[in-house]
Amino acid sequence: MKDAIKELLSDRRSLNAAVLVTILYPCVYFGVHLIGWGNGMFSWWQTLLAAPVMGLVFWVFTSGFRRFRDEDVTPS
* pLDDT score at 40: 80
Write down the pLDDT at residue 54. 94
Give pLDDT, residue 72.
77
Whether pTM > 0.95 for this model: the answer is no
Helix 2-9 and helix 44-67: axis angle, to 10°?
110
Question: Ramachandran region of residue 40, left (φ > 0), alpha (ψ -120 to 50) or beta?
Answer: left
Backbone dihedral angles phi then psi of residue 69, each to the nearest 5 degrees: -70, -25
pLDDT of residue 38: 83
Distance CA 28, CA 26 (A): 5
Residue 59 contacts residue 18 (beta carbons within 8 Å)? yes
**R_g (Cα) of the chain, nearest Å:** 17
- Specify the pLDDT at position 76: 72
pLDDT per 10-residue tile (average), the chain, 76 residues: 77 89 94 88 89 93 82 77
